[in-house]
Amino acid sequence: MTAANMLVDAAAQAGYYALFSRSSGPQIRGGEAAALLRLSAEPITSVDDTFQILLAIDWLNVVRFAAELPLGPDSLILADPAAGEVPEILSRTGARIVDLPMKDLAQSIPGGRPNMIALGVVAALTGLGVEPVAEVLGKSLKKKHADAFEASLAAVRHGAETGQSLDAPCRSLPAPLPRHGGRWTISGNHAAGLGAIRGGIRFCAAYPITPATESLEYLSSALPKIGGVFVQAEDELASINMCIGASFGGDASITATAGPGLALMTEGLGLAVSSETPVVVLDVQRGGPSTGIPTKSEQSDLNIAIYGLHGDAPHLVLAPQSIGDCLFTTQWAVHLAEAMQAPCIVLSDQSLGQSRAVIDPAPASPFFANREIARTPAEGETFKRYALTNTGVSPMPIPGTPGCQYTADGLEHAESGTPSSQASDHSRQLDKRLRKLVLHDYGSHWASIEGEGEIAVITWGSCTGAAREAVNRARADGINAKLIAPRLLYPTLPEQMARALDGVSKILVVEQSHLGQFNRYLRGEYDLPVRPDLLSRPGPLPIRPGEIHARLLAMGK
Amino acid sequence: MTAANMLVDAAAQAGYYALFSRSSGPQIRGGEAAALLRLSAEPITSVDDTFQILLAIDWLNVVRFAAELPLGPDSLILADPAAGEVPEILSRTGARIVDLPMKDLAQSIPGGRPNMIALGVVAALTGLGVEPVAEVLGKSLKKKHADAFEASLAAVRHGAETGQSLDAPCRSLPAPLPRHGGRWTISGNHAAGLGAIRGGIRFCAAYPITPATESLEYLSSALPKIGGVFVQAEDELASINMCIGASFGGDASITATAGPGLALMTEGLGLAVSSETPVVVLDVQRGGPSTGIPTKSEQSDLNIAIYGLHGDAPHLVLAPQSIGDCLFTTQWAVHLAEAMQAPCIVLSDQSLGQSRAVIDPAPASPFFANREIARTPAEGETFKRYALTNTGVSPMPIPGTPGCQYTADGLEHAESGTPSSQASDHSRQLDKRLRKLVLHDYGSHWASIEGEGEIAVITWGSCTGAAREAVNRARADGINAKLIAPRLLYPTLPEQMARALDGVSKILVVEQSHLGQFNRYLRGEYDLPVRPDLLSRPGPLPIRPGEIHARLLAMGK
Amino acid sequence: MTAPTYSAKDFRSDVKPVWCPGCGDYGVLASIAKAFADLELAPHQTSVVSGIGCSSRIPAYTNTYGFHSIHGRALAVGAGLKLARPDLTVLVAGGDGDGFSIGGNHFIHACRRNVDMTYVVMDNRVYGMTKGQPSPTTEADWDASAMAPPGGTGVTPFHPLAIALASGANFIARAFSGDINGTAALIAEGVRHPGFSFITVMSPCITFREEQRDWKTIVRPTGFPPTSDPAQAARRLMTDDGFNMGVLYRGNRDSFAKPRSTECTIADLDSEFAV
Amino acid sequence: MTAPTYSAKDFRSDVKPVWCPGCGDYGVLASIAKAFADLELAPHQTSVVSGIGCSSRIPAYTNTYGFHSIHGRALAVGAGLKLARPDLTVLVAGGDGDGFSIGGNHFIHACRRNVDMTYVVMDNRVYGMTKGQPSPTTEADWDASAMAPPGGTGVTPFHPLAIALASGANFIARAFSGDINGTAALIAEGVRHPGFSFITVMSPCITFREEQRDWKTIVRPTGFPPTSDPAQAARRLMTDDGFNMGVLYRGNRDSFAKPRSTECTIADLDSEFAV
Ligand SMILES: Cc1ncc(C[n+]2csc(CCOP(=O)(O)OP(=O)(O)O)c2C)c(N)n1
Ligand SMILES: Cc1ncc(C[n+]2csc(CCOP(=O)(O)OP(=O)(O)O)c2C)c(N)n1
Ligand code: SF4
Ligand code: SF4
Ligand SMILES: [Mg+2]
Ligand SMILES: [Mg+2]
């Protein structure tokens, strides 16, 4: 992993974009693990169809995730013969196998390690070269560990020489594009954390859970620096309710979790709906149901995020579409939650959250927590917390404001907040809580809509990148395809969707779930012009651009 | 309430059917309260459009639920003038107002109480007569409280005389139908409890909550008599997980709750899905979201019941269609959960659960817990708990069986139960867990399908009675309408629904929720021939037959 | 100009309680209002947070920033509020079911975390709101409930004060709702004491536990001066019969608070990700 | 024919643990297997129930009826199982996070309810599985975690044994995972003891708390004979430094069990509703 991280940094240094994720076996520490890397001169938002190079220092129980390493006849397997035979599941892909005795090569360098040899080989084969790698090595090691630096650099050079001399044809990277400004390396979980803070989050209570923990680690260290508060709660029930308390107190609040934790939060989310207390929940989805597959990605929390609250409890659900978009979408989530005094769930997933990418820096965006604040009422007026306004948003006081005392309530209530079981109060407050969501102007951010044509690919979240790539390929093939990827999943925007679907006569829904959750949601919530085709599969295998492209080719005939 | 209960018992005694519910204000004890009664010579499964008689001893804050007391020009308000003016919201309905000085009348009888006067008046006006009332009074009072019995009876007689002499035209009950066997008086919550036990439930862990508590009270007293176990748990997280533990141990298990408790159970339900442990959850729905309106009815937990689990977690959701059907459906739920080793949610609601009805006794039904049990494997064979069978059901051992030791797991697993994060194990187990649900033969119980025609009313749960009555009225008007009310809400049965919808060109969906949850579910899950019309409204006002009928008339034009 | 002072009445709203006539909770409401007035607080600087139950209805009857949250979660809501807004006086209130049954985990963690707030539990040894089921403090042999088997649950009741002590609560007291002044004084002392203060108030449910009307004849002031030695407090609590009123433990742990000062800008945070 | 007897090995499955080499939990696994063998139980009559965490992976490594449930709920699953099946030996196992953080409420209620089962907590004062966050037993100043502020959380750690005592646990012991025989003996004694037995096992996380390797040099047998006096036990626990191994409390409450006998038929139940 160290070597792969260095390669990412080196690529960034040299002006390339990169996408880096990892896959590993069940051992808590050690055991088999693979670093999965894509490098490109252009921005990357998706995995590729196959890997060009598989470099194996050893095999251990690689079969446990071999299916996650797609190879083809154009792929190259560089393997240390000392690690034994290439597993059949990999060799039968037709990939070309080249022996690379990394352990032996490393031994020829004093202090050399096989992973540095490997790094050098890859730097050579991709055309990245040794220079950027040396620079990264220098930054991380030179000062404190001069010996290690020298040894590593020597090993990298040795690897690079070996790489160059290998009879291993391999697409080299094109020259990097000219750079405007710097680049970032960031994971989706960190991006979400930074987006939250940019949006104005100043309170986080949370309970650790894979694969959301890095967001929490980030917030736990960043929030205090910026005048915010982070608390590790005793469980998710406490997390969400602490956030509600802090938000009632005036702080924009967030918690982050994964499926099992989200399940524990739905009662609290219902309270946020009814008491109209803004709060953001970042759900980094993993394989389900139940404990499922904590370290692998899936898009199967859509149902619970949209429909998982008891009663009629409309709220906000957003989904970021790339690692970088985790920042924008979380920032927007804070803005929307605060503007509408409603809970907002952000559906990220493991493949976004725990992957690291080289991206262009996130531009500033205008979305900030901006609650409609109630002020002390004029003499003789009484404050009504849940007043029936036209927008559905009722000004909310910050505790400490004289004259606005009220009781926030999860019981149905009259405009004042006093509990009421009257049909009229109930329906008026239900209407108001829905109205504020549907009347809000979400602008163009509600969806990515790209291209024109009769065939629409409708997808969401982390599948967006692959779908975009597939649509672009299909368009290059002369197929009139368009991409529709809602970033706002709930509430639904019937008019906007109808406009996006104008002229569409075939639909392909793409998602990573077993039950086709997104497809059912689309059919139930929208008037689609046609029964969609569905490309859906559970995790952990990502849906790759080639699969979508193939479906589009078939549909385009 | 005592008087109303006696009237129900008396009606039952005399061979009539009855439906009795109550509505009250917020006070924990005392305060305004109304007993809502419908009496009929034929079985009743729905409230009526208006009340014929409103009898008021006092008014207190009746406006708090006056909307729940529909009156019309044909209605009669009998009010004690001592209680003051009839509230405007009631008098403006055009109902005829007749003075009835119940307090004074009561004072003329030593020990007489106004409610017994009222009971006598109603007995006379409905044509029920004093005899059955006297019999009921005798049963409840004669032995222990001879004085009270005499006083009450005298008051009832005095009331009846007054009633007869009133100038108050009122439809009398027709003669009762000849009876075959006895009758029952039972509430939906008790019926569900009895159904559970009939189905084989022998364990219940639960936490009290309105309006499910009576089910628990029933089970807590009935289970021990029949060799079962009842535990009051510390919370709903404990309830569901204790049930899972007991079920793993071999006991068919149930818990009962309402929305807020169900929200806390979804993580446990996901564990039941993944570990394939049968368990039944009775959710008696109330007004939502959050704490909402605990004492009033609504059908707004449909979303959470079907879609509230994280990950892809298919399971069973059923809904009873009448008070008596609470028995059948809960019994069936036990059978289905056990047959498929899956959690089953039964969606009752306050209007079914807390209403009391006179019904025909529930016939025996063949549905019983009948788990596919694994036996000690033959020498040399190893037991695979999650074997990939054709039906999707894998035999489950009872702990204590030699040779079948395994670990139940919420982590994704291989056939043996050993955790696995491999794509192939994941998709195979997901397929299996879905397969067992969709391959099961649910017979005709999956839905009530009545009548034929181009117009279909699709409804569910407690709305079924009103919809049935409306369809019958429409058919009497010459409109070809049919009723489709799925008792099995999840999984969905596309073929059966398609057959039910054969020839249908107009659909009216009827439900009691604000967001039209059932409508979206139907659209998302089924291929409907046409975009449905929707008659949907949140609680607490029930949807009455006349409203549905009016919509059918409009659609039939 | 001196700051206005407020009387107990100013801390009461005009919402009529749903409580049964004679419920002990009326006394607790009066005590809270009196305590806030005695502490010379202003209504808009106070907050009363609760869960669900008869007792948990209390916020709406106060004129404060109230939060009637969900069953068992009041302490979490209260802690979030106090951590976000150290300037407010946060009082969390509720019942024995809300606090010790469904809310038990937040209770022990609140004791341990020691956020500066005051927790008032109206203990009536029953679930009043749901019509009379045994709670964690209900006597093992109480069986006048449709949800208890004849002879009672047989489960030894909890000792919330002992658990609070073992979990790290910084101030522990017992009060009786019939004694409005005494309860108000204990609440005021709890509010003043740093960290997490726990005050259990014996508050009769005259509807489901009529026999609790007798409490007024049984309660007595504790004979001991308050101790700050946990071992001594533990011994006393383990042998106490449950009717000694007063401060039973007064600890000296620092309260948990999060300093809120801005050390950097968003641009600084951005720059951590620059290549 | 005499019943077959089983050796510790028979209680082990052939699933390879995911634990780090050197993790303390290997010792606990060995101790459980040994305890079951020493108790002359048969694998099919035993059950090991857990939540989620490194330690909670243990059921799959035993050859029993295991249940690897969800985070924090092991005691509820275990109680349901034992109440339904009093004939089985039910051992519940897990970590300090699972048991005392998210599972804290079930812990105190299990102590109080006193169902006859044995709860073994592998306490490593950290969340191992999620890569090293502070748990309720983590020292206030431990800050080698990406989720703890510099200087540590500042929150005083819990004392689970004291809470167990205050909550009514019937048997309380402390063990060290490095001492397989000693731990096995304590587990066996806990299983034999009626009611709820709680055994905390100090089980080092050598990956996130390397310093816990030193525990083996610090632990010592408790100097006192076990007491059945709660007040005495409370005093000892309140002053104990956390390194005394052995039985610390041995109570004599009856365990909570539900008799299962059939007194009536379904027809009898039906008839209650007849007019
Ligand atoms: C999640 C959830 N479970 C159950 C309930 C039902 N419920 C409401 S109040 C209550 C118990 C209240 O008891 P306590 O806290 O002692 O308050 P009291 O009414 O006695 O003052 C219960 C079980 C609920 N509202 N929410
Ligand atoms: C509801 C839920 N929240 C959070 C998690 C994530 N999680 C898994 S294990 C764990 C902590 C484990 O700590 P501990 O019980 O001490 O076990 P250890 O790994 O240290 O043995 C957490 C927070 C989860 N699986 N489920
Ligand atoms: S039921 Fe009991 S606790 Fe509730 S208001 Fe009445 S007396 Fe008070
Ligand atoms: S992380 Fe710690 S607790 Fe987990 S297996 Fe490794 S050493 Fe054991
Ligand atoms: Mg109570
Ligand atoms: Mg731990």
pLDDT tens-digit readout, C23-56: 999 999 999 999 999 999 999 999 999 999 999 9
Instruction: Decide whether any atom of ligand 3 lies within 6 Å of the C94 Cβ.
Output: no
- Dist. CA D106 → ligand 2 center (Å): 16
Residue D157's domain comprises: 8-271
How large is the average pLDDT for residues B513-525?
Answer: 98
Q: Is residue D3 part of a domain?
A: no
What are D208-255's pLDDT values in tens digits?
Answer: 999 999 999 999 999 899 999 999 999 899 888 999 999 999 999 999
Residue A19 in 3-state DSSP? strand
Q: Which residues of A89-103 are buried (b: 16+ CB within 10 A; e: fewer)?
A: ebeebebebeebbbb
Nearest-Cα distance to chain D for B232, in Å, is: 10
Task: Please name which of B372, B494, B391 lies closest in space to residue B436, comparing C-alpha atoms.
Answer: B391
Contacts of D114 in chain C (CB under 8 A): 155-156
The CATH 3.40.50.920 portion of chain B extends over 446-556
Going by C-beta distance under 8 Å and a sequence separation of 6 or more, which residues neighbour residue A513?
A: A298, A299, A300, A302, A536, A538, B312
The Cα–Cα gap between C204 and C28 comes to 11
Q: What is the pLDDT of residue B406?
A: 98
Residue A321 predicted with pLDDT over 70: yes
CA distance C160 to D235: 18
pLDDT score at B427: 97
Say what angle helices D74-84 and D104-113 make with each other, to 10 degrees. 30
Domain with CATH 3.40.920.10 in chain B: 2-165
Question: What integer pLDDT is reported at residue D259 of this predicted model?
Answer: 85
pLDDT digits 0-9 by tens, A51-85: 999 999 999 888 888 999 999 999 999 999 999 99
Q: Which two tokens stand for residue C269?
A: 């945070």
* C26 ligand 3 Cβ < 6 A: no
Write out pLDDT tens, residues B123-154: 999 999 999 999 999 988 877 788 889 999 99
Give CA–CA dist A185/C273, Å, rounded.
6
Helix ranges (DSSP H) in B406-502: 423-439, 464-476, 494-500
Strand partners, C122: C95, C201
Contact B99, B76 (CB under 8 A): no
Given a cut of 80, is residue C72 above it in pLDDT? yes
| CB spacing of A421 vs B296 below 8 angstroms | yes
Could you tell me the two tokens for D63? 């050859």
Other beta carbons within 10 angstroms of residue B194's beta carbon come to 26
**Cα C95 from Cα C129, distance rounded (Å):** 10
Ligand 1 contacts CB of residue C55 (under 6 A): yes
The atom number, within ligand 2, closest to the CA of A261 reads: 1
CB contact under 8 A, C128 and B208: no
Q: D183 lies in a domain?
A: yes
**CATH 3.40.50.970 in chain B, residues?**
185-359
Residue tagged 């709101």 (tokens) = C129
The three state secondary structure string of C61-118 is HECCEEEECCCCCHHHHHHHHHHHCCCCEEEEEEEHHHHHHCCHHHHHHHHHHCECCE
Q: Are B244 and B279 in contact (CB under 8 A)?
A: yes
Report the pLDDT value the prediction gives residue D2, as an integer from 0 to 100. Answer: 64
Rounded CA separation C198/C166 (Å)? 13
More confident residue, C5 or C246: C246
How does the average pLDDT of chain A come out, rounded?
96
A61 inside 8 A of chain B by CB: no
- Place A286 in a pLDDT band, splitting at 50, 70 and 90: very high
Instruction: Concatenate the DSSP letters of all residues of A209-227 into one string.
Output: -TTTHHHHHHHHHHHHHBT
Cβ D73–B237 below 8 Å, yes or no?
yes
Closest by Cα among A6, A22, A8 to A354: A22
Does position A99 have pLDDT exceeding 70, yes or no? yes
Please work out, in degrees rounded to the nearest 5, the angle formed at the alpha carbon of residue D260 by the alpha carbons of D258 and D263: 125
Task: Indicate the angle between helix axes C160-167 and C230-239, nearest 10 degrees.
Answer: 160
Give the torsion sign (CA, A153, A154, A160, A166): negative
Tell which residue, A146, A122, A144, has the closest CA to residue A132. A122
The reply to whether residue C256 touches residue D155, judged by beta carbons under 8 angstroms, is yes
Cis check for the bond before D150: say yes or no (omega within 30 of 0): no
Provide mean pLDDT across the span B271-289. Answer: 98
- pTM over the 0.95 mark: yes
C178 lines ligand 3 (CB under 6 A): no
Type and span of the H or E element at B55: strand B53-56
Ligand 1 center to C18 CA (angstroms): 15
Domain assignment present for D26: yes
Which CATH code fits A2-165? 3.40.920.10
User: What is d(CA B309, CA B301) in angstroms, rounded to the nearest whole number?
Assistant: 13
Q: Are A285 and A320 in contact (CB under 8 A)?
A: no
Q: Which of A239, B386, A554, A406 is closest to C76 using CA atoms?
A: A239
Region A513-533 average pLDDT = 98
Write the CA distances from A311 to A314, B104, C77, integer angstroms.
Answer: 9, 46, 21
Chain A interface includes D130 (CB < 8 A): yes
Predicted confidence band of residue B181 (pLDDT cuts 50, 70, 90): confident
C-beta D212 within 6 A of ligand 2: no
Is C29 contained in some domain?
yes
CA distances from B322 to A74, B326, B461 (A): 65, 6, 7
pLDDT digits (tens, 9 = 90+) for B463-513: 999 999 999 999 999 999 999 999 999 999 999 999 999 999 999 999 999
For residue A15, with 0-12 CB atoms within 10 Å meaning exposed, 13-18 middle and 19 or more buried, which class applies? middle
What are the tokens at A141?
């090691």
Do C52 and B291 make contact, defined as CB atoms within 8 angstroms? yes
- Nearest CA to B483 among B464, B506, B516, B457? B457
pLDDT tops 60 at residue C1:
no
Q: With an 8 Å Cβ cutoff, is B438 touching chain A?
A: no
List chains touching D (3+ CB pairs under 8 A).
Answer: A, B, C
Kindly state whether D70 is in contact with chain C, defined as any CB-CB distance less than 8 angstroms.
no
- Helix (H, G, I), strand (E, B), or coil: what is residue B35? strand
- Mean model confidence pLDDT for chain B: 96
Which DSSP state fits D101? Answer: I
- How many angstroms does the Cα of residue A262 sit away from the middle of ligand 3? 34
Residue C80 Cα to ligand 3 middle (Å): 29
Distance CA B135, CA B139 (A): 6
Please tell me whether residue D80 adopts helix, strand or coil conformation: helix
| B512 contact A CB<8A | no
- The pLDDT of residue C90 is above 80: yes
Amino acid symbol at A27: Q
The pLDDT of residue C2 is 64
With a 6 Å cutoff on the Cβ, whether C207 touches ligand 1 is no
Chain B residue with the nearest C-alpha to that of C207: B29
Task: Give the other-Cβ count within 10 Å of A392's Cβ.
Answer: 21
| Gap from B217 CA to chain C (nearest CA, Å) | 5
CATH number of B185-359: 3.40.50.970
When divided into structural domains, chain D yields a total of 1
Chain C residues with CB inside 8 Å of A411's CB? 68
Would you state the structure tokens that stand for residue D34, as one six-digit string? 């040994």
Q: Among C92, C100, C130, C212, which is best to mutate for testing ligand 1, by the most ligand atoms less than 8 A from CB?
A: C130
Q: What is the pLDDT of residue A539?
A: 96
* Cβ separation A194–C67 shorter than 8 A: no
- Give the residue ranges of chain D where pLDDT is below 50: none
Cβ of residue B292 lying under 6 Å from some atom of ligand 1: no
Contact status, residue A260 vs residue D71, Cβ threshold 8 Å: yes
Give ∠ CA A442-A446-A450 in degrees, rounded to 5.
135
Q: How many C-beta atoms lie closer than 10 Å to residue A502's C-beta?
A: 9
Q: Give whole-number Cα distances, B489 to B320, B341, B445, B481, in Å.
A: 11, 17, 11, 22
| Per-residue exposure over B237-259, b if at least 16 CB sit within 10 Å of its own CB, e if not | bbbbbbbbbbbbbbbbbbbbbbb
pLDDT of residue B7: 95
**Cα(B343)–Cα(B281) distance, integer angstroms:** 8
What is the three-class DSSP state of C137? coil
Find where tokens 């709670």 sit.
C135
| Chain A interface disruption, residue of D71, D135, D203, most A CBs within 10 A | D71
Q: Does domain A446-556 have CATH number 3.40.50.300?
A: no
Window 148-187 of A: residues touching C by CB (8 A cutoff) are 182-186
Handedness of CA A514, A518, A519, A523 (dihedral sign): positive
Q: Is residue C139 part of a domain?
A: yes
Q: Which ligand is nearest to the CA of A29?
A: 4
C-alpha–C-alpha distance, residues A518 and A526, integer Å: 11
Instruction: Name the residue of chain D whose CA is nearest to A229's CA.
Output: D149
For residue A450, the SS3 value is strand
Q: What is the CATH number of the domain that holds C88?
A: 3.40.50.970
Residues 6 or more apart from B281 whose CB is under 8 A from it? B240, B254, B255, B256, B257, B262, B265, B269, B343, B344, B345, B346
B206 to chain D, any CB pair closer than 8 A? The answer is no
How far apart CA D137 and CA D156 sit, in angstroms, is: 8
Residue A499 has pLDDT above 70, yes or no: yes
Match 């059919």 to its residue by tokens: A523
The shortest CB-CB distance from B229 to any of D47, D78, D83 is to D83
Give A352→chain D minimum CA distance, Å: 18
Give the position of tokens 């033969």: B441
DSSP string, A170-181: -PPPPPPPPPSS
Tokens of D30: 């060995």
> What percent of chain A clears pLDDT 90, i.e. is strictly above it?
92
Residue C149 lies in a domain: yes
> Does the beta carbon of C130 sit less than 6 angstroms from any atom of ligand 3?
no
Main-chain dihedrals φ then ψ at residue B101, nearest 5 degrees: -75, 75
Residues B544-554 have pLDDT tens digits of 999 999 999 99
Residue D133 and residue D126 in contact, taking contact as beta carbons nearer than 8 Å? yes
Rg (Cα) of chain C, in Å, rounded?
19
Span A19-52, pLDDT tens digits = 999 998 889 998 889 999 999 999 998 999 999 9
Q: d(Cα B115, Cα B122) in Å, to the nearest integer?
A: 11
What 3-state class would DSSP assign to A87? coil
Instruction: With beta carbons under 8 A apart, name residues in chain C contacting A228.
Output: 260
Q: For testing the chain B interface, which of A293, A295, A304, A310 should be mutated: the one with the most B CBs within 10 Å?
A: A310
DSSP H or E segment with residue B116 = helix B114-126
| Most confident listed range (A186-195, B89-98, C217-226) | A186-195
Give the β-pairing of B455-459 and B481-486: parallel
Q: How confident is the model at residue A302, as a pLDDT?
A: 98
| C contact test, residue of D100, D105, D241 with most C CBs within 10 A | D105
